[in-house]
Chain A
Amino acid sequence: MTRVLVVEDDAQTAAEIAAALGDHGFEVECAYTGQDALDRAVADRYSAIVLDRMLPGGIDGLTVLSTLRGLSVDAPVLILSALSAVDERVRGLRAGGDDYLTKPFESLELTARIEVLLRRRSVPDRETMLRIGDLEVDLLKREVKRGGKVIDLLPREYRLLEYLMRHPGQVITRTMLFEEVWSYRYDQRTNVIDVHMGKLRRKLDEGGLPSMIHTVRGSGYILRAPD
Chain B
Amino acid sequence: MSVLFLALFGVSSVVFFGFTYWQATSYLNSSVDHWIARDSAAYLTAPGEIVQRLQLHAERDPDAWRPFGLFDASGRFIAGNLKSLPEKPTSVGHYFEYKLPRNGKDAPFRGVGYRMPNDDILILSYNVNEIYGFKHLLLDAMAWGGIMVFGVGIAGAIITGLGAVRQINGITGAVERIVTGNLAERLPTRRGAGDLDRLVYLVNGMLDDIERLMREVKGVTDDIAHDLRTPLTRLLGGLERARRRTTSADEYARAVDAAIAETKAVLGTFSALLRIAEVEDGARRAGFMRIDLGQIAADVVEFHAPVAEERGVSLSFDTDAPALTQMSGDPSLMFEAVSNLVDNAIKFSPMGGCVAVRTFSYKGRIGVTVSDNGPGIPADEREAVLRRFHRLEKSRHTAGSGLGLSLVAAVAKLHGLSLTIDSSYPGSCVTLEREQQGGQVPALPAPASAPPAQTGTRERAEGEPHAVSSGV
Contact = CB atoms under 8 A, between A and B. Distances in A.
A binds B: yes
Interface of A: 84-88, 90, 104, 106, 156, 182, 184-187, 189-190, 192, 195-196, 198-199, 218
Given A106-B264, A184-B335, A187-B268, A86 B284 contact: yes
B299 A182 contact: yes
B306 interface: yes
Contacts, number: 54
A84 B287 contact: no
Given A85-B278, A184-B331, A196-B306, A189 B284 contact: no
B287 A85 contact: yes
A138 B303 CA distance: 24
Contacts of B304: 192
A187 B270 CA distance: 12
Contacts of A104: 267, 271
A175 to B, nearest CB: 12
Interface of B: 261, 264, 267-268, 271-272, 275, 278, 283-284, 286-287, 299, 302-304, 306-307, 310, 330-333, 335-336, 343, 401
Nearest to A191: B307
Contact of B302 (A86, A106, A156): A156
A185 B332 contact: yes
A219 to B, nearest CB: 9
Given A84-B278, A86-B287, A195-B306, A189 B272 contact: yes
A195 B343 CA distance: 13
Contacts of B283: 85
Q: Which 10 A-B pairs have the closest CB atoms?
A: A86-B287, A87-B287, A195-B306, A184-B335, A184-B332, A186-B336, A195-B307, A85-B284, A186-B332, A87-B286
A93 to B, nearest CB: 13
A218 B287 CA distance: 32
A85 B286 contact: yes
A183 B264 CA distance: 25
Given A184-B299, A187-B271, A195 B310 contact: yes
Contacts of A192: 303-304, 306-307, 343
Given A182-B303, A186-B333, 10 more contacts: A84-B278, A87-B284, A88-B287, A186-B332, A189-B268, A189-B272, A190-B343, A196-B303, A198-B306, A199-B306
A85 B284 CA distance: 6
A121 to B, nearest CB: 27
Contacts of A187: 268, 271-272, 275
A104 B267 CA distance: 8
Nearest to A102: B271
A32 to B, nearest CB: 25
A16 B278 CA distance: 26
A121 B380 CA distance: 58
Contacts of A86: 284, 287, 330, 332
A59 B307 CA distance: 47
A86 B288 CA distance: 8
Contacts of B272: 187, 189
Contacts of B330: 86
Contacts of B284: 85-87
Contacts of A189: 268, 272, 401
A190 B332 CA distance: 15
Contacts of B307: 192, 195
A84 B284 CA distance: 9
Contacts of B332: 86, 184-186
Contacts of A185: 332
A92 B264 CA distance: 26
Nearest to B401: A189
A120 B406 CA distance: 39
A184 B336 CA distance: 9
21 contacts: A84-B278, A85-B278, A85-B284, A85-B286, A86-B330, A88-B287, A104-B267, A104-B271, A182-B299, A182-B303, A182-B335, A184-B331, A186-B332, A187-B275, A189-B401, A192-B304, A195-B306, A195-B307, A196-B303, A196-B306, A198-B306
A196 B307 CA distance: 8
A37 B287 CA distance: 29
Nearest to B275: A84
A201 to B, nearest CB: 12
A198 to B, nearest CB: 8
A192 B308 CA distance: 10
Contacts of B286: 85, 87
Contacts of B275: 84, 187
B261 to A, nearest CB: 8
A176 B159 CA distance: 75
A198 B264 CA distance: 23
Contacts of B271: 104, 187
Contacts of B333: 186
B335 A186 contact: yes
Nearest to B267: A104
